[in-house]
Structure 1
Amino acid sequence: MFQFRILSALMLAATMLFSVATSAASLWEKGTHYKELPFPVKTGDASKIEVVEVFWYGCPHCYEFNNDHLPQWEESFPDDVDFRLLPATFPGWVTHAEVFFAAEELGKIEEMHQALFDAIQGAPKKYQDRDDFVEIFEKHGVSEEQYMAVFEASGFRKISKIDEQVKKAGDRIKAYRLTGVPALIVNGKYKIGVRDAGGFANMIKVANFLIAQERAALTAAK
């Protein structure tokens, strides 16, 4: 009798888990709440599940997502999730992408990402050119000379590291087939937009669903 009760409890638990998984799968539909990319984009670390947030510093919706939704979600990521930021490089947005990569090249992006967002959102017309950002970098311990040096061309191709990063970002944006931000890319296979998902909170829910799906696939492949 006791063994029967244990077996019944295990069967009930399994049924509940299956029900939850089935419910999530039916709730978030491919083609409606997220899109599958026709050609997967190579990720930075194949052993992990990559999540990329594509953003623009001049985008108020990106700012809201960054401030009100991303921090708590990012804290919840397990070790197998590789979260990355990618600035969009659409026409008129390249300067902000350059500044992001400059901060990254100088090892300052973690402390400056929020500061750049705050500054640009607070006075969007003030920050249009590279020179406009010198003061922000100086506040974070980077001299004007150090800041401007990262934009200098070098090597056989006579192209700066920042130009290379911007080009790579542009190539990824095209491969992701993005037309707007903010957007989330899960493991180089799926893209999630605010409108498709139905809001910021749902973007995260859809991403979590896809992360779990990719985790199951990685586990099965081992």
Structure 2
Amino acid sequence: MNRREFSKQTAAMTGLGLAAGMAPWGLAHAADPVEGSNYVKLSQRAPVSAPAGKVEVVEFFWYGCPHCYHFEPSLLPWIAKLPADVVFRRVPVAFRENPFGMHQRLFYALEGLGLLSTLHAKVFHAMHEEKLRLDTPESITEFVVRHGVDGAKFQAMFNSFGMQSKIKQARALAEAYKIDGVPALGIAGRFFTSVSLNGSPEKTLATTDFLVGQARKSK
């Protein structure tokens, strides 16, 4: 999906995903996912941070993206059932400095404070249900304090020396995977797939399972 095609992805998720008789990939199609249609194989490998012998899956997302928000209900149970040799992590993207940059800092500050398990979903809810923009340091700090976080500790992490390094690494990885839209999943530094390529969250995750299997074969 091109960065400017968010409306097209919304149509794909709400229209295709709710079509009568729609079944997950494995039930609706006997054939394997197709390179160039359902996923892309990178011409040059992207870096991975997973230990040797593990398959890394990276979700590229943006808190402000409604498609990422709607992907979560399918993604979370999939993550919970991942086998031991698959390592999952999230990487926030920044297609421009603001508001993407603010939201990258928000994610990494929560991660640094060990608060993603409790506040990640609440950030999504605040933006898409409460219609909060959370695009300034002040509004972000007010939000986390309202949810019981120490404001001073959060601001220290939000403005920490290591924050810029994390943001730089996130942007470099998105460039290596050639991500131009979200949500997207990078697999083993070799493939990426997305909801826009597959038409529904279920097919996207089935394609990801297929690509994890492909990565296992070439360990």
Q: How high is the TM-score relative to the length of structure 2?
A: 0.80
Partner of 2:213: 212
1:137 alignment partner AA: V
2:60 & 2:78 partners in 1: Cα distance?
A: 16
Partner of 1:63: 69
Q: Please report how far the alpha carbon of residue 65 of structure 1 lies from its aligned counterpart in structure 2 after TM superposition.
A: 0.5
Moved >4 Å (runs of 4+) = none
Post-superposition CA distance 1:42-96 (Å, at most 9, x none): 2112320001111111111100101x20122112101000010111111131111
Q: SS of the counterpart of 1:51?
A: strand
Greater relative contact order (CA < 8 Å, ≥ 6 in sequence) = 2
Q: SS of the counterpart of 2:128?
A: helix
Aligned equivalent of 1:32, options 30, 37, 40? 37
1:151 & 1:125 partners in 2: Cα distance?
A: 19
Asked whether the 8 Å contact 1:53–1:185 carries over to 2, the reply is yes
Partner of 1:47: 53
Asked whether the 8 Å contact 1:58–1:124 carries over to 2, the reply is no
1:152 & 1:183 partners in 2: Cα distance?
A: 28
1:110 alignment partner AA: S
Q: SS of the counterpart of 2:218?
A: helix
State which drifts further: 109-118 or 126-135.
Answer: 126-135
Post-superposition CA distance 1:153-201 (Å, at most 9, x none): 5xxxxxx211211111111111110110000111111010212122211
Structure 1 residue runs without a partner (length 5+): 1-19, 154-159
1:117 alignment partner AA: F
2:55 alignment partner AA: I
Asked whether the 8 Å contact 2:47–2:173 carries over to 1, the reply is no
Asked whether the 8 Å contact 2:106–2:158 carries over to 1, the reply is no
Matched, 1:120 2:121: no
What's the % identity of the aligned pairs?
32
Structure 2 residue runs without a partner (length 5+): 1-25
Tell which structure's C-alpha radius of gyration is larger: 1
Q: SS of the counterpart of 1:211?
A: helix
2:86 & 2:209 partners in 1: Cα distance?
A: 10
Equivalent residue pairs, number: 189
Matched, 1:147 2:148: no
> Aligned-residue CA RMSD in angstroms?
1.8
**Greater helix share, 1 or 2?**
1
Partner of 1:98: 105
Asked whether the 8 Å contact 1:55–1:182 carries over to 2, the reply is yes
Matched, 1:87 2:88: no
The 1:119–1:28 alpha-carbon spacing in structure 2 relative to 1, beyond 3 Å, is same
1:127 & 1:42 partners in 2: Cα distance?
A: 31
Q: How high is the TM-score relative to the length of structure 1?
A: 0.79
Partner of 2:83: 78
